[in-house]
Amino acid sequence: MSIAASTLPQLLHAHSVGPEVDSFYHLVGCDVSARPCAGTACFVARHTLGLPQPDDDGPRVSCLGRCFAAPATGIDTARPHIEVQSGEAILLGRLAKGTGPGLADYRASGGGAALRKALSETPADVIAEVQKSALRGRGGAGFATGKKWVAAAAAGGAMKHVVANADEGDAGAYIDRFLMEGDPHALIEGVTLAAFAIGARHGGIYLRHEDPLAKIALDKALAEARAAGLLGEDILGSGFAFDIEIFVGHGSYVCGEETALLRSMDGLRPEVMVRPPYATERGLQGQPTLVNNVETLATVPWIVERGGEAYRALGFARSRGTKALSLNSLFARPGLYEVEFGITLRRIVEELGGGLRAGTLKGVIVGGPLAGIIPPSLLDTPLGFEELRAIGSGVGHGGVIAFDEATPIAALLHHIVAFGAYESCGKCPPCALGSRRLEQILSHPASAQERAELPGLVAALRHASLCGHGTGMGEFVESVVRHFAKELGL
């Protein structure tokens, strides 16, 4: 089925959005250009600098993607330090070299070769290379990308979709933002390769409201791609028809969850849905949809061009390839780093980051605000999906937030739980009610009765929540209690 580019906007906006939907979001009509960031990287930076935290006057902005310069307010064009510390520059090579975001620059550096190669082969060939690579989703869950592509390719129906999840809401992670702003054609090529592989004719990129510069870069890149015949009715004369449109969210952390994201794109309240059915069976507009995050899709062109085995040769154990990491402002050398899986957290903190600018390291949060705290005693843990999971943390999007002795653990714990309660979609009682009660208890020195209530609340969040938002809150609290019980007086 051929879909003309001119009809695309009608696909994602077939449902009207009314007050009952708008009320779900935090940033409808909000100009974030002057709002202070309330994200975790800015929270710990303010403690280090002895600055007050922002008040609750107006909607909260959970992360502005400027964690390398925290505490942040508004949007600017500053770029972080960018460095490749792996055997292959798969993700950050063009950014590190300062290559421009235009199509001519992308092609001059070898971009586009993967799509030309794929169009001369079969969709099954492309999927086979992704399977060989052992690439796992970089959005947090670490699900096998090839397995998801196989399911999407096998799904029936005349219309399929590919959606790039660019709702990088994890405070401390600014990887997707700079990939889209500085290397947008890598994402576009990755989305197009995925579409060719599964037989999709329509693509979408779901952007955060807080990333307006990414939208500007992608709008320009999409126009360049269409003009060059890389999108549209007959891509590079192959007969393959595919195009991409952009959808901008309105401020909701839970829209990073796949089912909530797709409901948001359909104009519905973006609540998390029970699975199955999975998105590969019934997603956008009720049709088969492949959802991958930005970093995952930006990796695909390298895999298709160089081969899955070459990618699998990088990394270690069940975590293959490279990972982009974003280090916060408390490091002596904050910025974006591309590393191979298997590097220890100690090397990341002490060598890449150069340790802290000042003060004594108290802990590190890797993989998002709900991923758990890693104490200095566990820094010899290798960066890997299973390895971080074993110590109560996670790879997540790759944000690395270090904090020092100026940040009280009780204050940090309440900050994270308050964030979780504020962002809960309200779909399931353990998260909707449990997170609010947890925030109430942790907002002050808890009584003996309240402390006795904590284990049950945490267990309900961890084991009965519908999605990773609630389970993540439960696991975060468990992590803090495990490593910092003495400071908490527990």
Q: Which residues of 381-407 are buried (b: 16+ CB within 10 A; e: fewer)?
A: bbbbbebbbebbbbbbbbbbbbbbebb
pLDDT at residue 7, rounded to an integer: 40
pLDDT at 219 over 50: yes
What integer is the mean pLDDT of 281-286? 96
What integer is the mean pLDDT of 407-426? 93
298 band by pLDDT with thresholds 50, 70 and 90: very high
What are 358's two structure tokens?
């000042």
pLDDT at 15 over 60: no
pLDDT at residue 34, rounded to an integer: 84
57 band by pLDDT with thresholds 50, 70 and 90: confident
What integer is the mean pLDDT of 393-414? 96
Sequence-ordered alpha helix ranges (H) in 155-293: 175-182, 184-198, 212-227, 258-265
Sequence-ordered alpha helix ranges (H) in 328-378: 345-346
Taking the C-alpha atoms of residue 91 and residue 114, their distance in angstroms, rounded to an integer, is 14
2 band by pLDDT with thresholds 50, 70 and 90: very low
pLDDT at residue 32, rounded to an integer: 87
Q: pTM higher than 0.85, yes or no?
A: yes
Average pLDDT of the chain to the nearest whole number: 93
pLDDT at 59 over 90: no
18 band by pLDDT with thresholds 50, 70 and 90: low
pLDDT higher at 1 or 297: 297
Residue 326 amino acid letter = S
Taking the C-alpha atoms of residue 313 and residue 170, their distance in angstroms, rounded to an integer, is 29
pLDDT at residue 5, rounded to an integer: 38
pLDDT at residue 17, rounded to an integer: 54
What integer is the mean pLDDT of 290-311? 98
Return the bridge partners of 365, or none. Answer: 373, 401
pLDDT at 199 over 70: yes
pLDDT at residue 166, rounded to an integer: 96
Neighbours of 441 (CB within 10 A): 18
Q: Among residues 365, 359, 328, which one has the least CA distance to residue 345? A: 365
What are 76's two structure tokens?
């600017």
10 band by pLDDT with thresholds 50, 70 and 90: very low
- Cβ-based neighbours of 293, under 8 Å, separated by 6 or more: 137, 138, 139, 164, 165, 166, 168, 176, 397
pLDDT at 455 over 60: yes
Q: What is the DSSP letter of 253?
A: G
pLDDT at 170 over 90: no
Task: Name the least confident of 100-109, 397-406, 425-434.
Answer: 425-434
pLDDT at residue 6, rounded to an integer: 39
Q: What is the pLDDT of residues 308-350, one digit of tens each?
A: 999 999 999 999 999 999 999 999 999 999 999 999 999 999 9
Taking the C-alpha atoms of residue 47 and residue 43, their distance in angstroms, rounded to an integer, is 7
pLDDT at 180 over 70: yes
What integer is the mean pLDDT of 27-47? 92
Q: What is the pLDDT of residues 341-396, one digit of tens each?
A: 999 999 999 999 999 999 999 999 999 888 899 999 999 999 999 999 999 999 99
What integer is the mean pLDDT of 52-72? 91
pLDDT at residue 19, rounded to an integer: 64
pLDDT at residue 141, rounded to an integer: 80
pLDDT at 42 over 70: yes
pLDDT at 412 over 90: yes
Q: Among residues 4, 29, 11, which one has the least CA distance to residue 267? A: 11
Inter-residue contact 320 to 341 (CB < 8 Å):
yes
